[in-house]
Chains A and B, each alone.
Chain A
Amino acid sequence: MASKLIEKRQLSENVFQMVFEAAKIARKRRAGQFVVIRIHEQGERIPLTIADADPMRGTITIVFQRVGKTTYHLSMLEVGDEVMDIVGPMGKPTNIEKVGTVACIGGGVGVAPVYPITEAMKAAGNYVISIIGARDKGLVIMEDEMRSVSDELIVATDDGSYGFHGFVSQALEEEVIKKGKHVDQAVAIGPVPMMKAVCDTTRKYDIPTIVSLNSIMVDATGMCGACRVSVGGKTRFVCVDGPEFDGHQVDFKQLIDRQRIYLEQERLSLERYLETLRKEGRGS
């Protein structure tokens, strides 16, 4: 199904928020699920988490970081433009339960996928401590949104330009656990090294931790196996068995290796795209 872009906002230098018309998906989606977007006929299919949805208006919101050709192309779309295909909601929804205190941790653009989970955890009656982090102050996104669905919010920056000075995993340990706040469950979404660091911390304190994995995907229906990861020594397909897994069981090294399969082609593809933008005088 083609889908029209109806709102666009730049959240930081490379992070964009977009609202698309997608009535069926808006009605069905639950926290933790994602869509697959293909922009144009020659385009690839990329997975993006549904950060928010409005079933009444029939819209979904995505927040993405431009890292390569496809996300760059997406960021160049203007309100009124269409993407050729948008399909979903894919993946299993997050298991939302009242467990007591939940730490919702988002790193970088990972704050976007953590947001709907945080909202649902709070609505289920949990006490929610959120920790969001970024490299520096300018890259912190969705702070107000996160604050509105959390009981406590900690902002962490790697360079200390805002809030806690350090990584989100350190903020969790220093500002929450060591201050005697008991955490029953953690949810961590962000770059793989960040999720790994959080899991290393929570393992020490025996805190069950859910992570959302961003493996490379093609169909996202369980048909190709591109997205496979080892979890607890077993091969699982992120698109249909996940995207969320027990972080203490995930083979992060393998995930990182597999994300790098197309590094060279991805670079070539982006360079070519930026070159055409320059020729059209649209480069930035």
Chain B
Amino acid sequence: MNAKERMKIPRQAMPEQDPKVRSRNFDEVPYGYTAELAKKEALRCLNCPRPFCVEGCPVEIDIPAFINLIADGDFVGAAKKIKEKNALPAICGRVCPQEIQCEQRCVRGKKGEPVAIGRLERFAADYERSQGEVEIPEIAGPTGKKVAIVGSGPAGLTVAGDLVKLGHDVTIFEALHKPGGVLVYGIPEFRLPKDIVASEIDYLKRMGVKIETSYVIGKTSTIDELFQEGYDAIFLGVGAGLPVFMGIPGENLNGVYSANEYLTRANLMKAYLFPEYDTPIVKGRNVAVIGGGNVAMDSARTALRLGADNVYLVYRRSEKEMPARLEEIHHAKEEGINFQLLTNPKRYIGDDKGWVVGIECLRMELGEPDESGRRRPVPIEGSEFVLDVDTVVVAIGTRANPLVQATTPGLELNKWGYIVADEETGKTSREGVFAGGDIVTGSATVILAMGAGRKAARAIHEYLMDKK
């Protein structure tokens, strides 16, 4: 097919559940491309001699190559091609902010819409999985070196996969009872089905990675004790798990949650299946979610699925400044989330039993740009109004959890408590200790955490092979 014909094909929509239906269930929203749709979308790629899309992907997947394989109908081949660079394509295809990464750089986006790279990536990975157990790659002979990985989020999982392939003896230590990090406790089922995460973890186990769950480094054992037990190198991928509150009156009222708690109850503990599952959650009728990122969208859409009548999204800037993925904003709107933009909570109002009954809010306007380049929201005087709610979810960000740092002498931290690590190698101030992902950068993305994991794995391998 020539370029002209390719240019004529419009971007293929991904079939998905009807908003009215899906807003009351926890099943995944998009069904994914069929083979036919995938092939058609793949034909839109112009196979650019200098593919800018690849430069937009933090792990540099050979995008035109895998898309070509899809166009040719070699779906498993496409999945293998992606996996040369990205061990978790079924996950990234679903959660990457493509519109600011690969797809933003696609030439087809200049006039019209970019190639749906994320959807194609997801399709290839899902297809491979649907063909039965995914074949594991060749594993190098044992090196006799032991590596401990702390945290089983995308950063830790990537390091584990890369190092086990090189023949190292790898053990992951995870504080929670299920591995996956934010992928299992944070991102909801309707956006990332947990059996996908489980099958990725199963794949690592089949490659020989050992996983110790319910094991808290800093409590059950310290970093120094791991070294004493014979580990030769340690990777810290503990994420940025500490919830942030605004410090306004009423934040400890009943019914006011951090997004971490709300989502952990719903996802990890499956509170949406209460009483089949033992963990309860407050099923509010009128719920307000504070924030404008992915975490806020996930919380708002979870509230809806738990049966809320009204879900407000209270965000202090305008929609343009929202950090959430475009698709999530779009889905949230379709499902009927009520966006209260340029609005900020001032205090929470409680009843005499300590339950939240309302939020006093202020309207905002945008002023001068701040350090982040976004226009700073400033309160409009006298614009106070009350939003009647019975549940609030605060999703305004997270910070570094200090459990590991507090018990690891000599580990250099920055002024916000994040671990200082070399960007190219993940090396920290402690010999043999590497770090990457959210605990170094602050809350970022799955693919950036994986990218950091990949670089650290390379550096750990070199370190281990140099060490006698």
**Closest-CB distance, A232 to chain B (whole angstroms):** 14
Contact of A87 among B175, B252, B280 (CB under 8 A): B175
Give A1-31 interface residues, CB cut-off 8 Å to B: 1, 24-25, 28
Stretch among B192-200, B259-267, B288-296 lining the A interface: B259-267
Complex CA distance for A52 and B176, rounded to whole angstroms: 24
Q: Does B213 reach chain A (CB closer than 8 Å)? A: yes
Q: Does B221 reach chain A (CB closer than 8 Å)? A: yes
**Closest-CB distance, A174 to chain B (whole angstroms):** 33
- Given A230-B252, A254-B252, residue A235 in contact with residue B216 (CB < 8 A): no
Contact B254 A258 (CB under 8 A): yes
Contact B264 A257 (CB under 8 A): no
Collect the chain B residues with CB atoms within 8 Å of residue A122's CB: none
Collect the chain B residues with CB atoms within 8 Å of residue A269's CB: 274-275, 278, 280
Contact B252 A221 (CB under 8 A): no
Complex CA distance for A89 and B257, rounded to whole angstroms: 26
Complex CA distance for A229 and B252, rounded to whole angstroms: 7
Complex CA distance for A4 and B402, rounded to whole angstroms: 31
Complex CA distance for A28 and B265, rounded to whole angstroms: 29
Contact B216 A221 (CB under 8 A): yes
With an 8 Å Cβ cutoff, the count of chain A residues facing the other chain is 43
Collect the chain A residues with CB atoms within 8 Å of residue B258's CB: 224-225
Q: Give the residue name and chain of the B residue nearest to A217 (CB).
A: B261
Q: Does B276 reach chain A (CB closer than 8 Å)? A: yes
Stretch among B11-19, B20-28, B237-245 lining the A interface: B237-245
Interface size class of B (residues with CB under 8 A): 35 or more
**Closest-CB distance, B219 to chain A (whole angstroms):** 6
Contact B242 A223 (CB under 8 A): yes
Q: Does B384 reach chain A (CB closer than 8 Å)? A: no
Contact of A261 among B214, B264, B282, B401 (CB under 8 A): B282
- Given A28-B219, A222-B401, A258-B254, residue A43 in contact with residue B278 (CB < 8 A): yes
Q: Does A260 reach chain B (CB closer than 8 Å)? A: yes
Give A84-112 interface residues, CB cut-off 8 Å to B: 84-90
Q: Give the residue name and chain of the B residue nearest to A41 (CB).
A: B277
Q: Does B212 reach chain A (CB closer than 8 Å)? A: yes
Interface string of B276-308 (1 = CB under 8 A from A): 111110100000000000000000000000000
Could you tell me the dominant secondary structure of chain A's interface residues?
Answer: mixed
Q: Give the residue name and chain of the B residue nearest to A25 (CB).
A: B220
Q: Does B353 reach chain A (CB closer than 8 Å)? A: yes
Q: Does A136 reach chain B (CB closer than 8 Å)? A: no
Q: Does A248 reach chain B (CB closer than 8 Å)? A: no
Collect the chain B residues with CB atoms within 8 Å of residue A261's CB: 254-255, 282
Complex CA distance for A226 and B251, rounded to whole angstroms: 12
**Closest-CB distance, A220 to chain B (whole angstroms):** 9
Contact B219 A225 (CB under 8 A): no
Contact B254 A257 (CB under 8 A): yes
Complex CA distance for A272 and B354, rounded to whole angstroms: 28
**Closest-CB distance, A193 to chain B (whole angstroms):** 16
Interface string of B365-407 (1 = CB under 8 A from A): 0000000000000000000000000000000000001110000
Collect the chain A residues with CB atoms within 8 Å of residue B411's CB: none
Collect the chain A residues with CB atoms within 8 Å of residue B264's CB: 218-219, 223-224
Q: Does B227 reach chain A (CB closer than 8 Å)? A: no
Contact of B278 among A42, A85, A89 (CB under 8 A): A42
Collect the chain B residues with CB atoms within 8 Å of residue A28's CB: 219-221
Collect the chain A residues with CB atoms within 8 Å of residue B215's CB: 1, 24, 87
Contact of B213 among A85, A218, A265, A272 (CB under 8 A): A85
Q: Does A44 reach chain B (CB closer than 8 Å)? A: yes
**Closest-CB distance, B57 to chain A (whole angstroms):** 30
Contact A235 B252 (CB under 8 A): yes
Contact A235 B245 (CB under 8 A): yes
Contact B275 A44 (CB under 8 A): no
Collect the chain B residues with CB atoms within 8 Å of residue A265's CB: 274-275, 280
**Closest-CB distance, B228 to chain A (whole angstroms):** 13
Q: Does B269 reach chain A (CB closer than 8 Å)? A: yes
Contact B260 A87 (CB under 8 A): no
Collect the chain A residues with CB atoms within 8 Å of residue B213's CB: 1, 85
Q: Does A38 reach chain B (CB closer than 8 Å)? A: yes
Collect the chain B residues with CB atoms within 8 Å of residue A260's CB: 254, 353-354
Q: Give the residue name and chain of the B residue nearest to A261 (CB).
A: B254
Collect the chain A residues with CB atoms within 8 Å of residue B214's CB: 1, 85-87
Contact B403 A240 (CB under 8 A): yes
Q: Does B177 reach chain A (CB closer than 8 Å)? A: yes
**Closest-CB distance, A110 to chain B (whole angstroms):** 23
Collect the chain B residues with CB atoms within 8 Å of residue A257's CB: 254, 353-355
Contact B261 A69 (CB under 8 A): no
Q: Does A196 reach chain B (CB closer than 8 Å)? A: no
Q: Does A82 reach chain B (CB closer than 8 Å)? A: no
**Closest-CB distance, B360 to chain A (whole angstroms):** 19
Contact B269 A268 (CB under 8 A): no
Contact A219 B175 (CB under 8 A): yes
Collect the chain B residues with CB atoms within 8 Å of residue A87's CB: 175, 177, 214-216, 220
Contact A222 B242 (CB under 8 A): yes
Contact B261 A88 (CB under 8 A): no
Contact of A258 among B243, B252, B277 (CB under 8 A): B252
Complex CA distance for A254 and B278, rounded to whole angstroms: 24
- Given A42-B276, A262-B280, A268-B275, residue A90 in contact with residue B252 (CB < 8 A): no
**Closest-CB distance, B290 to chain A (whole angstroms):** 14
Give A209-262 interface residues, CB cut-off 8 Å to B: 218-219, 221-226, 228-230, 235, 240, 253-254, 257-258, 260-262
Contact A223 B241 (CB under 8 A): yes
Contact of A222 among B278, B279, B353, B402 (CB under 8 A): B402
Collect the chain A residues with CB atoms within 8 Å of residue B251's CB: 235
**Closest-CB distance, A5 to chain B (whole angstroms):** 16
Sample of 7 further A-B pairs with CB below 8 A, known A44-B279, A89-B219: A24-B221, A89-B220, A222-B241, A222-B242, A254-B252, A254-B354, A258-B254
Residues of chain B at the chain A interface (Cβ within 8 Å): 175-177, 185, 212-216, 219-221, 241-243, 245, 251-252, 254-255, 257-258, 260-261, 264-265, 269-270, 274-280, 282, 353-355, 401-403
What would be 21 A-B contacts, judged by CB atoms less than 8 Å apart? A42-B270, A42-B278, A44-B279, A70-B278, A84-B177, A85-B177, A85-B214, A87-B175, A87-B216, A218-B265, A218-B279, A219-B264, A224-B264, A235-B245, A240-B403, A260-B254, A260-B354, A261-B254, A269-B274, A269-B275, A272-B275
